[in-house]
Amino acid sequence: QKEVEQNSGPLSVPEGAIASLNCTYSDRGSQSFFWYRQYSGKSPELIMFIYSNGDKEDGRFTAQLNKASQYVSLLIRDSQPSDSATYLCAVLPQGGGNKLTFGTGTQLKVEL
């Protein structure tokens, strides 16, 4: 079982819709969770982080964490074509020091 799992996609949503990206992780003791956006040929950039159960909102982005289900998601409201990218979920495992474990990413396509 992979430590951090994501559906590779592509996930296609129409412009203006809500995009929902999901991630599950295997280490129940994981502490912090991060969502990165990576455009093709570019390096990742941090969008959100969350470490408490529940929702965290930042502009059009909402991160949701459910530690009991070992599940973290990212919602993008009012999706724009510029949101088209690969979204990487990263987890800071328990006892993992500073080392983030990344999922393989979900490719999002926002269509006009």
Q: Which residues bind other proteins (CB under 8 A)?
A: 32, 36, 41-46, 49, 51, 88, 97-100, 102-105
What's the closest the beta carbon of residue 6 comes to other proteins, in angstroms?
9
Of residues 2 and 28, the one with the C-beta less far from other proteins:
2
What's the closest the beta carbon of residue 32 comes to other proteins, in angstroms?
6
User: Distance between alpha carbon 78 and the CA centroid of its chain, in Å?
Assistant: 17
Task: Count Cβ atoms within 10 A of the Cβ of residue 75 and give its class: 0-12 exposed, 13-18 middle, 19 or more buried.
Answer: middle
- Contact between residue 10 and residue 109 where contact means Cβ atoms under 8 Å apart: yes
Of residues 17 and 51, the one with the C-beta less far from other proteins:
51
Interatomic CA distance for residues 109 and 80, integer angstroms: 9
Of residues 18 and 46, the one with the C-beta less far from other proteins:
46
